[in-house]
């Protein structure tokens, strides 16, 4: 019931820290996790990704408050309640983020988190295999714990999407995680030998084999702070409340929803809000729970006139065959998340680096797997990357068992609507290229009739969905920034012996999916916690479009 380092949460960052903090054998590490086992095909089979996200067994089951700019809809806000956290229920898409994202972090007060500082950590964590599809080995890591691969891209629609992007005049990239993010190209996934390569598989399992690393299944109620120092964690298990002692530090890595919730329950947060709930204030940090960001996306769906999409497998017999092939050989369609082509584009001239992301899927279906469009189709998931809208996570109650109150405040800026309309029109331009001529049927969604700004806005309001990338609620920044919650070494400002390291500390959301940046955050935070010198900064320069001020099209066009 005690350890040198007590880590709250076994997710992307928590698992990485457990691995690094226990690596030299000098320190004892205890990971606190409420969720159950990640064994079984629903989690380990990549193609089954829509199942665990919708199972109460694996998901905290949070929803947003009614969103005022989306017609009062409550949006699903899943987070992994399972070993491996959200890395065990996510879509397995691997994106580092753009160099410009991390340089912006540094400019906003997260000193030492610029691109040159984080690139060495991405290389340290990756075990990258290009699968013979080209790529950028000089920019990648080859011997880290996290296996990153590419899907086979057998379906001709994956190639059609990339060709269409080129025909529409946009950049091509062989490796959006390498020197050049901008353009159309292959998508990367955290899959290894046909299995989901979650943070639990990559980091936590190897760490738990060491004698100095252990995991305790329990519910975290709050952090115990005595005379301004975190000394332990109050937990509940088997109906009993107990204290786990931290000899050196408590490290909070419980998600963009639960990390601020636990801080507030422990007396760290906006003083007035804590007082409303009768919680004694240990440190008045108004930024705790604020700065909440996420990516929203739409699915633009097109009918396919050739029977080549995944719809042919949308029946019990075919699903059973795919499952059996995966179960016995870890091969076939079950071994990929099916997101095998991607694009990162700039929405308009004057935008320095991409602010739109595409996931392409050779089927028309909802992300939750609940409904397939009638017949064969394909779809692009598209959304803006850097919305100016900000929300907040707050306490609904002082009861530690109560869910936090989550208000994203999506689409609260006029620019959000402009960006989304542009996303829809851009997708139509790409789907209209010659590469899709052999396949293109009618537009399923939004549908040809939806053209005017007002009609597009109505469609966006009804159909925009979270991409499940919440972050920012314990912002990292300068110690004198009143909205910062942690300093650039992830230490909670105003409390000794307490750090936060997960997606909640991102000052601003990064391009693309957040699993990669969350693991990187755990990797880098571990060096800060151990007092090690950070890895030497990189002097590699990322590609920037030479004509970004004038055009969004390819530099060679």
Residue 130 belongs to some domain of the structure: no
Does residue 488 share a domain with residue 436?
no
The structure tokens listed for 250 are 């408590």
Distances (CA, A) of 497 to 16, 210, 280: 19, 24, 19
Residues 6+ away with beta carbon under 8 Å from 477: 108, 109, 110, 483, 484, 486, 487, 488, 507
Does residue 363 share a domain with residue 319?
yes
The strand pair at 229-237 and 219-226 is best described as antiparallel
Q: Are 486 and 505 in contact (CB under 8 A)?
A: yes
Does residue 165 share a domain with residue 31?
no
Does residue 424 share a domain with residue 375?
yes
Q: Report how far Cα 209 is from the mean position of its chain's Cα atoms.
A: 27
Distance between CA atoms of residues 413 and 386, nearest Å: 12
Residue 538 belongs to some domain of the structure: no
Distance between CA atoms of residues 250 and 19, nearest Å: 16
Residue 68 belongs to some domain of the structure: no
Residue 393 belongs to some domain of the structure: no
Question: Which residues are part of a known binding site for FAD?
Answer: 4-33, 82, 90-93, 220
Q: pLDDT digit string (tens) for 224-238? A: 999 999 999 999 999
Does residue 341 share a domain with residue 425?
yes
What's the chain's average pLDDT?
96
The pLDDT value recorded for residue 557 is 60
The C-alpha angle with vertex 181 and arms to 175 and 184, in degrees rounded to 5, equals 70
Q: Are 536 and 501 in contact (CB under 8 A)?
A: no
Distance between CA atoms of residues 22 and 6, nearest Å: 11
Residue 241 belongs to some domain of the structure: yes
Does residue 313 share a domain with residue 266?
no
Residue 57 belongs to some domain of the structure: no
Does residue 323 share a domain with residue 215?
no
Residue 303 belongs to some domain of the structure: yes
- Among 423, 443, 463, residue at a domain's last position: 463
Q: Are 444 and 257 in contact (CB under 8 A)?
A: no
Question: Which residues are part of a known binding site?
Answer: 4-33, 82, 90-93, 220
Specify the number of domains making up the chain. Answer: 2
> 303 lies in which domain range?
152-186+296-384+412-463
Q: pLDDT digit string (tens) for 339-396? A: 999 999 999 999 999 999 999 999 998 756 666 667 899 999 999 999 999 999 999 9
Q: pLDDT digit string (tens) for 44-58? A: 999 998 889 889 999
Does residue 353 share a domain with residue 437?
yes
Mean pLDDT across the stretch 252-267? 98
Does residue 328 share a domain with residue 214?
no
The structure tokens listed for 317 are 């017999």
Does residue 180 share a domain with residue 283?
no
Distances (CA, A) of 476 to 7, 332, 520: 18, 42, 15
Residue 338 belongs to some domain of the structure: yes
Residue whose C-alpha is closest to residue 486's, from 525, 520, 515, 434: 525
Does residue 490 share a domain with residue 509?
yes
Residue 367 sits in a domain whose CATH number is 3.30.410.40
Does residue 341 share a domain with residue 443?
yes
The pLDDT value recorded for residue 78 is 96
The pLDDT value recorded for residue 132 is 57
| Three-class SS of 367-427 | CCCCCECCCCEEEEEEEECCCCCCEEEECCCCCCCCCCEEECCCCCCHHHHHHHHHHHHHH
Task: Check pLDDT > 80 for residue 130.
Answer: no
Distance between CA atoms of residues 79 and 82, nearest Å: 9
Mean pLDDT across the stretch 185-212? 97
- pTM, two decimals, is 0.97
Site of tokens 């995944």: 310
Residue 486 sits in a domain whose CATH number is 3.50.50.60
Distances (CA, A) of 542 to 2, 89, 176: 44, 31, 11
Residues with a catalytic annotation lie at 469
Bridge partners of residue 403, in order along the sequence: none
Q: pLDDT digit string (tens) for 303-320? A: 999 999 999 988 889 999
């Amino acid at each position: 019931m005690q350890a040198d380092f007590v880590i709250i949460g076994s997710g992307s960052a928590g698992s990485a820290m457990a691995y690094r903090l226990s690596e030299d054998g000098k320190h004892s590490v205890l990971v606190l996790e409420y969720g159950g086992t990640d064994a079984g095909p629903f989690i380990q089979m990549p193609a089954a990704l829509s199942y665990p996200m919708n199972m109460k067994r694996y998901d905290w089951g949070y929803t947003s408050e009614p969103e005022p700019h989306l017609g009062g809809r409550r949006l699903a806000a899943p987070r992994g309640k399972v070993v491996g956290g959200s890395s065990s229920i996510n879509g397995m898409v691997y994106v580092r983020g753009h160099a410009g994202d991390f340089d912006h972090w540094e400019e906003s007060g997260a000193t030492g988190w610029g691109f040159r500082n984080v690139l060495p950590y991405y290389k340290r964590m990756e075990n990258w295999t290009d699968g013979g599809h080209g790529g950028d080995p000089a920019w990648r890591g080859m011997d880290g714990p996290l296996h990153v691969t590419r899907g086979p891209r057998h379906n001709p629609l994956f190639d059609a999407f990339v060709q269409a992007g080129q025909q529409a005049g946009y950049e091509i990239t062989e490796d959006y995680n390498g020197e050049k993010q901008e353009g159309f190209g292959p998508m990367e996934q955290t899959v290894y030998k046909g299995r989901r390569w979650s943070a639990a598989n990559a980091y936590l399992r190897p760490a738990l084999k060491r004698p100095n690393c252990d995991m305790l299944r329990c519910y975290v109620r709050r952090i115990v702070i005595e005379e301004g120092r975190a000394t332990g964690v109050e937990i509940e298990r088997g109906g009993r409340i107990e204290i786990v002692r931290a000899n050196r530090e408590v490290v909070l890595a419980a998600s963009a929803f639960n990390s601020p919730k636990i801080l507030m329950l422990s007396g760290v947060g906006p003083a007035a809000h804590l007082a409303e709930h009768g919680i004694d204030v240990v440190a008045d940090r108004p930024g705790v729970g604020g700065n909440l960001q996420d990516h929203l996306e739409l699915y633009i769906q097109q009918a396919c006139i050739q029977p080549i999409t995944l719809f042919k497998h949308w029946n019990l017999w075919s699903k059973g065959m795919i499952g059996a092939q995966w179960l016995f050989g870890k091969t076939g369609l079950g071994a990929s998340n099916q997101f095998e082509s991607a694009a990162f584009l700039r929405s308009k001239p004057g935008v320095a680096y991409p602010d739109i992301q595409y996931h392409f899927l050779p089927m028309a279906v909802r992300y939750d797997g609940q409904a397939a469009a009638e017949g064969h189709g394909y779809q692009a998931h598209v959304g803006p990357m850097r919305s100016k809208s900000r929300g907040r996570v707050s306490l609904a109650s002082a009861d530690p068992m109560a869910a936090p109150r989550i208000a994203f405040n999506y689409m609260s800026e006029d620019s959000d609507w402009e960006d989304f309309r542009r996303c829809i029109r851009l997708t139509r331009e790409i789907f209209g290229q010659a590469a899709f001529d052999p396949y293109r049927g009618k537009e399923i969604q939004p549908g040809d009739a939806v053209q005017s700004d007002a009609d597009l806005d109505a469609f966006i309001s009804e159909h925009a969905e979270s991409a499940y990338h919440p972050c920012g609620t314990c912002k990292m920044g300068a110690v004198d920034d009143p909205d910062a919650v942690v300093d650039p070494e992830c230490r909670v400002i105003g409390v000794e012996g307490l750090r936060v390291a997960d997606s909640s500390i991102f000052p601003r959301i990064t391009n693309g999916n957040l699993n990669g940046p969350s693991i990187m955050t755990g990797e880098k935070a571990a060096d800060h916690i151990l007092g090690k010198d950070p890895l030497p900064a990189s002097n590699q320069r990322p590609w920037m479009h030479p004509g970004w001020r004038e055009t969004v099209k390819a530099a060679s066009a």
